[in-house]
């Protein structure tokens, strides 16, 4: 049996040995820049196609690697390979499947800085953010390995006389895993391993902004002993790979993390039965948020609350579905909070992600940079700009962390997901008003409340309608097993990744009943 699950510790880069190890990892990963990577379908490596580039957002002229542009025929080939592999993989023991995840976690732990360094270069995560991403990926592997035993073991059912009854969970079949670029290792690994450890086979379509880290993890699965075809690596565009996958009649499930717009598109397409389809496709979707932190007048430590708001808003440049994008402040402390938040925001150090002292790196690409700047320009007219607001596009895709105060609750930047380093501060009359404002969007992912009033805490627990609520702490940083993650409303299907419900999304239950034979009569009875 496996030991009790424990979260992977984060790395303290203030220690010289850890800093040196990360610098060495960056050097190693940088030495691999410029290679070309294949599709892998049923163990076959496929090259010679048109390619696209993975770009370093800190240094936009630097091409990190070239990736194949998969096509619709490759999707068909991958689905065939996955169903072929499924015939044996579904029969593999829990020991085999969970063992694959444990071995993968061990290899990932040995090379964690190399994986973190890859994210530093590919998506612009600072050292600390990348390290947390890698730790979470290790956690997903370890946690789901242990959960596989629970779902694969004897299930509690009511006993009756005269029958032997059993409930077992079976894998769904072949599915599509479509991960995001913002947690390109952790979420991608979690979605992929959850499907595989429950006996399913997968076509992994990595984000086109983060194919390099996905490739590195896929290669690790192969090294850990994953049979060919269990996970198939098919990079490419949404039109050539994504849509054919989600529309295909032989795809049983779709696991997606990304924007509301794409998630709704996937849900709509998955709901349409295609010729030859014999099931209702299952969609697991996590689609973002417009998360709020409330700071109540009965908060003793306003400095701590302001620091938590800044950390929640600007960690990984605000490119988290859990990021605080609305700070709702009681009018009694509003004039104290705004300058505190502005001061802490202005103190953040912007720089290339590979620099050890950078606190704010680039946003992921030029399109994102331009879109975020449009929101900043609009928001500056809707409120009062108190920090940031400028774009620094010379070397990479950099945007100053931006705070806009005096924003109306129905303003554009109060309602639309920006997915960048922009924080709107909204004044509330009191706690009732703050809760009303917090619930006043179409999303419901994360939220936080700062108050020292226990009754208000109780009310927030009952009335703040989010999937993950935090009290007197930041609204980001969910830990696997500790904070099962997923939200309400347009934030998705409340999948609760990293929780005890999650593997059930990739399984179907079968109840089996057998009538007991009547006991044999002893010889001589009845004569």
Q: Which residues are catalytic?
A: 286, 321
- What are 93's two structure tokens? 């023991």
Scanning 33-93, the segments in alpha helix (DSSP H) are 72-89
Q: Tell me the C-alpha to C-alpha distance, in Å, between residue 526 and each of 238, 323, 517, 519.
A: 76, 79, 20, 15
Element (H, E) at 28: helix 16-30
- What are 161's two structure tokens? 């006389």
Q: Which of 334, 322, 311 is nearest to 401 (CA)?
A: 311
Task: For residue 90, count other CB atoms closer than 10 A to its CB.
Answer: 16
Concatenating the DSSP letter of every residue in 305-362 gives HHHHHHHHHHGGGG-STT-EEEEEEETTTHHHHHHHHHHHHHTSPB--TTSTT-SB--
Count the helices and strands in the chain (H runs, E runs).
15, 23
Cα 197–203–208 angle (5° rounding)?
A: 120
Residue 86: DSSP 8-state: H
Q: Is 514 strand, coil or helix? A: strand
Q: Is 203 strand, coil or helix? A: strand
């Amino acid at each position: 049996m496996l030991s009790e699950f424990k979260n992977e510790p984060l790395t303290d880069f203030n220690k010289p040995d850890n800093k040196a190890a990360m610098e060495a990892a960056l050097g190693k990963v940088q030495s691999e820049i410029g290679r070309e990577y294949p599709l892998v379908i049923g163990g076959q490596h496929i090259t010679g196609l048109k390619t696209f580039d993975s770009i370093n957002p800190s240094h936009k002229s630097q091409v990190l690697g070239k990736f194949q542009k998969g096509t619709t025929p490759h999707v068909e080939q991958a689905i065939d390979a996955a169903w072929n592999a499924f015939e044996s993989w579904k029969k593999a023991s829990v020991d085999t499947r969970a063992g694959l995840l444990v071995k993968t976690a061990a290899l990932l732990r040995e090379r964690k800085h190399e994986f973190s360094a890859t994210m530093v270069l590919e998506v612009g995560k600072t050292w600390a953010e990348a390290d947390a991403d890698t730790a979470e990926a290790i956690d997903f592997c370890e946690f789901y390995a242990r959960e596989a035993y629970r779902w694969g073991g004897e299930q509690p059912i009511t006993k009756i006389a005269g029958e032997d009854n059993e409930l077992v969970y079976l894998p769904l079949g072949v599915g599509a895993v479509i991960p995001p670029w913002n947690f390109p290792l952790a979420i991608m690994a979690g979605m992929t391993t959850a499907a595989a450890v429950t006996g399913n086979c997968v076509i992994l379509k990595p984000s086109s902004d983060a194919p390099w880290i996905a490739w590195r993890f896929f290669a690790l699965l192969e090294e850990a002993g994953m049979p060919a075809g269990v996970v198939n690596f098919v990079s490419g565009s949404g039109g050539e790979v994504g849509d054919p996958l989600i529309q295909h009649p032989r795809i049983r499930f779709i696991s997606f993390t990304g924007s509301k717009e794409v998630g709704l598109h996937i849900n709509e397409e998955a709901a349409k039965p295609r010729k030859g389809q014999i099931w209702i496709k299952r969609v697991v979707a996590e689609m973002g948020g417009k998360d709020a932190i409330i700071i109540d007048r009965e908060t003793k430590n306003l400095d701590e609350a302001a620091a938590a708001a800044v950390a929640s808003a600007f960690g990984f440049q605000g490119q988290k579905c859990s990021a605080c994008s609305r700070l709702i402040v009681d009018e009694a402390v509003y004039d104290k909070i705004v300058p505190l938040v502005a001061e802490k925001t202005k103190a953040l150090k912007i720089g290339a992600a590979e620099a050890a002292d950078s606190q704010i790196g680039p946003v992921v690409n030029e399109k994102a940079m331009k879109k975020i700047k449009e929101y900043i320009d609009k928001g500056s007219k809707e409120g009062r700009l108190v920090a940031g607001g400028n774009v620094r596009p010379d070397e990479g895709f950099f945007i100053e962390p931006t705070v806009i105060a005096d924003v109306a609750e129905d303003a554009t930047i109060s309602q639309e997901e920006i997915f960048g380093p922009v924080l709107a501060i909204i004044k509330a009359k009191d706690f009732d008003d703050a809760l009303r404002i917090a619930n006043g969007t179409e999303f419901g992912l994360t939220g936080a409340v700062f108050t020292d009033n226990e009754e208000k805490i109780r009310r927030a627990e009952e009335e703040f309608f989010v999937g993950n609520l935090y009290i007197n702490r930041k609204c980001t940083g969910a830990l696997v097993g500790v904070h099962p993650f997923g939200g309400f409303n347009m934030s998705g299907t409340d999948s609760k990744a990293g929780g005890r419900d999650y593997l059930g999304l990739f399984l179907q239950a079968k109840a089996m009943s057998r009538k007991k034979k009547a006991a044999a009569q002893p010889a001589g009875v009845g004569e």
